[in-house]
Amino acid sequence: MSLLRDNLQCRDFVKSGAFKGNNPAEVVQSCDITFSCVADTTAVKDLVFGNYGVLQGISKGKCYVEMSTIDEETMQDVAEAITARGGVFLESPVVGSRVPALEGQLIILAAGERKLYDECYSCFEAIGKKSLYLGADIGAATRMKLIVNMVMGTVVAGLAEAMAMAEKVGLDQEDVAEVLSVGALSCPTVIHKSQAILSQRYDPHFPLQHQQKDLRLALLLGDKVEQPLYVASAANELYKKARRLGYGESDISAVYRAASN
């Protein structure tokens, strides 16, 4: 069973044969394993700790899988609250955007109860091309996801600056994109985001506001362990500018608008 916060999405699931609960507590009470994937820390806290939330439905033996990308402290708080009530917890944030999700090509990063991971494996196979169990330490999967998205954010920010500079120095951006697509830097992210910049179409495969949120969380993680993050810090400022320009709900490639403005 999955937790959805959007009524339209719920309607689509019901049309496909799913049953709709009136609140998170009712959903958790109705199933053995509940999967949750929402936008941010605030949404996770609301689902778990709010009125008629997950905690009010959890009981001994009920399993809860949190797939959202949030800070590790909140993930650990949720895990402690679930297990304190006899529940079983697994964190499993996913790597991938809209198209990989639609094609069942996500990467699932998991940490927590190994037995629950094994029980969820068939579900993970249905939505992903690879799942990794990173151990019992709650927070390990979240740390991995933040590092991966930190790399993603810095790469796309660098690409945006390169495309902006190419235009300023009189180069054809299409030529730049072609060179990048056939050289050592060729990868799906560079190819797809280059094309988005060229077409100036920023349909949200991965919303820019979520990328900036993940960069912010990565920077907080760096502060915690006293790891300097010079490049990620600079990239974060570019995404913040793009959000101020109104591109928060656009694809992360819209960071180009901040680089070229």
Positions marked catalytic: 145
Pairwise CA distance, residues 23 & 177, whole Å: 47
Pairwise CA distance, residues 237 & 215, whole Å: 10
Beta bridge partners of 35: 2, 65
Assigned token pair, 145: 């996801």
DSSP 251: B
Beta bridge partners of 111: 91
Which residue is associated with the tokens 């049309």? 15
**Cβ–Cβ < 8 Å for 55, 85:** yes
Which alpha helices (H) appear in the chain, and where do they start and end? 7-15, 24-30, 41-49, 72-84, 98-102, 114-127, 140-168, 173-182, 188-199, 208-224, 230-244, 255-260
Residues 6 or more apart whose CB falls under 8 angstroms from that of 195 comprise 177
Pairwise CA distance, residues 235 & 187, whole Å: 20
Q: For the CA atoms of the chain, what is the radius of gyration?
A: 20
Nearest to 163 by CA among 201, 187, 202, 196: 196
Angstrom distances, CA of residue 44 to CA of 41, 169, 195: 5, 46, 34
